[in-house]
Amino acid sequence: MNTSHEAWPLLEMIFPNTSSGHRLLLRLSLTNLRHTLYLISPNETMFETVEDVPNYNTEVSTWWLVFIAMEFIILLVSGHCDRFALNDSITSMCAGILSECFKFGGRTIAIFGYVYIWNHYRLIENEWNSQWTWIFCLFLQDFMYYLGHRAVHEFGFFWGFHAMHHSSEYYNYTTALRQGAIQGKLMAFLVGVSLSCL
């Protein structure tokens, strides 16, 4: 899909080519919407090196803002304003931004453990471009995420990292963004390092 300014004829008239608004609107592509909804194929998400992997959070963030705005409008029109509080939503979005800022450190720390275990203790070496590897890793990653998420719910120490996510009185799209700032570091070790053995 063409995501250049030719794909949006009026875009250049509204926003200059180098503006933030221009970049945000370019992210409203069908491909990014499919990434947001996990409607992707294995071939689209197989990369030989880590450097080739796009920043999916950046790609889908504009769609999340659209979903939040749509939800707010639907609740407003349907008369269910009691299910949405602006101050709570802003708090959730700020917590999500802070969480993203802290992820860099958590991923950087976890990658050292990942690389060390991969280099010294890996059990097998899967082909990076095999669909079977993709399917196997999909289920393994999902299972490890389940174990990590269950751990943060079951154990008091871990719950301290995760409780912020459940602290909202509302259940809406912004609540999903409400993450503890250092929860990513914990999950990086619980999920990422365990997968590195493969």
Tens digit of pLDDT for each residue in 45-74? 888 887 888 888 888 888 998 999 999 999
* Residues 96, 29: Cα–Cα separation, whole Å: 23
Domain boundaries, the chain: 103-168+180-198
Q: Which helix (H) or strand (E) segment is 176 a member of? A: helix 173-177
Tens digit of pLDDT for each residue in 21-41? 667 777 888 888 999 898 988
**Residue 9 pLDDT exceeds 70:** no
* Residues 55, 97: Cα–Cα separation, whole Å: 15
Q: What is the mean pLDDT of the chain?
A: 79
SS3 37: coil
Tens digit of pLDDT for each residue in 78-126? 988 887 888 888 988 888 888 888 776 666 666 777 778 778 888 888 8
